[in-house]
Each structure stands twice: as structure tokens, then as C-alpha cells.
Amino acid sequence: MQKKEIVGNFEISKDGAVSRREVLMMGALAATGLAVASNSGAGAAEPAANAPAVKEIYKAKDFSALAKAGMPGLSASQVEQHLKLYKGYVGKSNEIYGKLKDVDITSANATYSPLRELLMEQSFAVNGMVYHEFYFGNLGGKGGDPQGDLKSLLDERFGSPAKFKDFLIAAGKSMRGWVVVGYNLRGAHIDVYGLDMHNMWSPQNVVPLLVLDVYEHAYMVDYGIDRAKYLDAFYNNLDFDIVSKRLAKARKCESGEMTTV
Ligand SMILES: [Fe+2]
């Protein structure tokens, strides 16, 4: 029997890593008004009744207000589906954290071993959680132009707000997963990174300031495969005040040191 939990308005499969194909299917079903049922991980063993409860080291953040915010170009249905996916990553991050406590380290092997698999997928699950939190966190605004220190740094790198926007949109068209506008602690400048997967080409010493999700699941409910329209909608709903607050926190860190915001 599949283990599930209720989080807010969502039913999340404890066993359910959501695959790219399932995400696309989810979007297609939502677009046609059909109910969505998670079936990933079916057949996985039920934990023993007397098994100790796994401590949930990660808690899903509540972004449900975004779905009700009436964001132009980003429908409630689209946001709700996306939040459901995010909560799946939180669940898997907790699951991997728990399993790493009990994993057999005597069988460690670089071709295959349970330890290797957990260590590899840990960064996929955790980054999937964290990047989504940055993404949802910088939505819900009115777009426009960056201001203050943020504008100065972006102008230094790109020349003007209009040129930054053009670069961001182009970066969004060129990647398969994420675009990260970050504050590089080594040199105190802005960098833009592209990722095809959550744990692929993730930069170190760079604090994410503005995160753009370009996976198809981020826009397929609203736009099908028309990513360009989604990118415009994303920009028009950006909250530059949040981006500026992230920059202010990053600025407090010593240059070159690792940190998180
Ligand atoms: Fe996403």
C-alpha cells in the first residue's frame, strides 16, 4: 500500500519521486480538468508498524497564497500543480536524510551501492526543494525594474534593466531546468548560471538572488510548449523587493566565504 500524507490541500505520496514524464502528464491532465493521482513508487514496501518515525528535517514552506494571488499569466491551476511538485521534493529530501542515518556503509562502492545512490540523489532532491523555494519566493510582485543596489550591480554587469531583462529571457530559452541570477561572493558581482537539472552545474560561492524555473511543468498548464509567453509572464510577476532583500543579506557575508540566505 502506498504511503501518503496530507499537506495543506495536497495529498503527497511518500514514495513518489515525480519524474519528468509524470510532470508533463500532470500538466496535461490538469489542462483537461481531469483529476491527478500520483502513482510513482507503487509497490514500495510499507514501513514496519513499529518502525521509528523519520524526523522531518525539512518543512515545506507555505506558498499557497500565490495560487490565490491572481497573478496575470500564471493561473491558480498552474501554481497549484507546481506547488504539489515542490512538496514532493521536500518529502524526498526528508526520506533521503532519514535513510542516510541507517544506510549500510560496509557495501560502499562507486559503481553501485545504496550509499552512493542516496548521496547522489540527495543533491537532486534538496536542490529541487531549495530552488523551488527561491522561485516561488520571488514571484507575486509587479515586475518592473530593479532598484537601488540591485540595479547598480545589474547595470554594472548588463548595462541597463532592459538589457538585463533581455539576457534573462534569452537564458530562460536556452536552459532545460533553471536560470539562477546570483551574487558571487568571490568578487562581489552578479553572475547568471543555467542548470539543466537541480544538481547539475550548481555554482558554489554564489547566493541565488533571482531564480527562474524553465522546466515544462512550470508553464505547460497555461501555455503548452510556448515558453516565450511564460517567460514574459514570469518577469511581469517578479518581486524585485524580495530579490533586493536577498542581495542585502548576501552583501553582509565576507567575500569568498560560503553562506546561505
Ligand atoms: Fe519546478
- The Å distance, Cα 255 to ligand 1 centre, comes to 30
- The Å distance, Cα 184 to ligand 1 centre, comes to 24
How does the average pLDDT of the chain come out, rounded?
83
- The Å distance, Cα 257 to ligand 1 centre, comes to 29
State the total domains in the chain.
2
- The Å distance, Cα 162 to ligand 1 centre, comes to 26
Angle at the Cα of 27 (from 13 to 19), degrees rounded to 5? 50
**In the 3-class helix/strand/coil scheme, how is 174-233 assigned residue by residue?**
HCCCEEEEEEECCCCEEEEEEECCCCCCCCCCEEEEEEEECCHHHCHHHHCCCHHHHHHH
Longest dimension (CA), the chain: 61
- The Å distance, Cα 104 to ligand 1 centre, comes to 32
Using 50, 70 and 90 to split pLDDT, how confident is the model at 186? confident
- The Å distance, Cα 107 to ligand 1 centre, comes to 34
Question: Does residue 33 sit in the same domain as residue 130?
Answer: yes
- The Å distance, Cα 132 to ligand 1 centre, comes to 6
Per cent of the chain over pLDDT 70 is 76
Question: Does residue 133 sit in the same domain as residue 8?
Answer: yes
In this structure, which amino acid lies at residue 129? M
- The Å distance, Cα 45 to ligand 1 centre, comes to 28
Using 50, 70 and 90 to split pLDDT, how confident is the model at 167? very high
Q: What average pLDDT does this structure show over 235-250?
A: 97
Angle between helices 148-158 and 161-174 (to 10 degrees): 70
Residue 51 pLDDT greater than 70, yes or no:
no
Residue 210 pLDDT greater than 80, yes or no:
yes
Domain holding 231, by residue range, is 148-251
Cβ contact 170:181 at 8 Å: no
Bridge partners (DSSP) listed for residue 212? 179
Last residue of a domain, one of 113, 137, 161: 137
Residue 242 pLDDT greater than 80, yes or no:
yes
Last residue of a domain, one of 74, 108, 137: 137
- What is the reported pTM? 0.79
Cβ contact 72:2 at 8 Å: no
Distance CA 117, CA 124 (A): 11
| Chain segment 84-141, per-residue pLDDT in tens | 999 999 999 999 999 999 999 999 999 999 999 999 999 999 999 999 999 999 999 9
Question: Does residue 214 sit in the same domain as residue 105?
Answer: no
Per cent of the chain over pLDDT 90 is 70
Cβ contact 179:172 at 8 Å: yes
- Looking at residue 147, its pLDDT comes to 97
